[in-house]
Amino acid sequence: MRGSEEVLDALRRLPAAILNGIAEELGAPIEAVAEDARSGAAVDTGYMRDHIRSEVTREDDAVVAKVVSEADYSGFVELGTSKMAAQPFMLPAAYANAGRVGEAVATGARKGMEAVANGTA
């Protein structure tokens, strides 16, 4: 019976360990998205480009990864308006790094599972 309790305990720790592993691995690829967005951003004054940031947080039962442009007008630049053509910079950056982000999620999940299996989580 003791072995089954250890297995149940490991299974209880598994979700948090996986999420922690994913959060740890996502920092670099999400920053790569932000770097590409900064590189692709239209520049007039440079404000929009200089106010693009990345963020990875662990919240309850989720990992939240964001690339944010703090310029109010970023959406108008990205999507265009009736008077201005779109100049996308966020979506191309996300697409360019999608594989890298996916690999980070898989690596983080694997590291979380390994930590539980090794007794370090």
CA distance 84 to 119: 57
Percent of the residues in the chain that have a pLDDT greater than 90, as a whole number: 87
CA distances from 30 to 50, 69, 81 (A): 16, 13, 28
pLDDT at 43 over 90: yes
Q: Report, as an integer, the average pLDDT of 16-40.
A: 97
| Nearest to 84, CA basis, from 35, 26, 44, 38 | 44
Is pLDDT at 2 greater than 70 in this prediction? no
The tokens describing 93, both together, are 């950056």
Please give the pLDDT value at position 120.
87
Return the minimum-mean-pLDDT range out of 9-13, 35-39, 67-71. Answer: 9-13
For residue 88, pLDDT beyond 70? yes
Q: How confident is the model at residue 1 (pLDDT cuts 50, 70, 90)?
A: very low
Q: What is the pLDDT of residue 67?
A: 98
Question: Is 0.85 surpassed by the pTM of this model?
Answer: yes
Please compute the mean of the pLDDT values over residues 30-57 and round it to a whole number: 97
Amino acid at 80: G
With a cut of 80, say whether residue 3 has pLDDT above it: no
